Amino acid sequence: MPEKNYEPKRFQSDEYLAVLSDTPAEQTAYFTQTALQHMKTLAETGYPFEICGLLLGNITASGWIIQEAREVKNLNKERAADRFQLDPLGYQNIDKSIRGTGLEIIGVFHSHPDCPARPSPTDLGSAWEGFLYPIVSVCDGKAASIHCWEPSDVSQRFHPVSYKVEAA
């Protein structure tokens, strides 16, 4: 039986490759173990559909400090297996819930079912510069990899972001 291909041809196309930069971002992402594990669990639970959510924490000179990951409903029902549309009401509710806590919304995460953890042209079209964009690749229902990205308005590309996991 042939091995399943987790990189559809579209991810190898010029259109998809054009949104990726070889130049890494200058900052690093620092996740709590809990936030990273929660993203993986949500991605596995939502499989075979894309899940999405917000990263909560702070941005410092050294990078993104992610303390929490919270799921937000994916409103895309027509192409839920390969597209997400973050629910604006969910965004607003999380924004209200963190007022006065010292936390900020600093990124958006989502999953790629049976696809690599690399952004697509669609992802770039809705990305905000300064936010962190982790993508969880989920293959056959199990989180396979996580890669983080930072979009640049100047280069019109995603730059890879290294990340570290903190104990708390």
Give per-residue pLDDT as tens, 53-65.
999 999 999 999 9
Give per-residue pLDDT as tens, 129-160.
999 999 999 999 999 999 999 999 999 999 99
Burial of 66 (0-12, 13-18, 19+ CB in 10 A): buried
Which domains, ranges and CATH numbers included, belong to the chain? Answer: 20-166 (3.40.140.10)
Please tell me whether the peptide bond between 48 and the residue prior to it is cis, using omega within 30 degrees of 0. Answer: yes
Radius of gyration of the chain (CA): 15
pTM of the shown model: 0.94
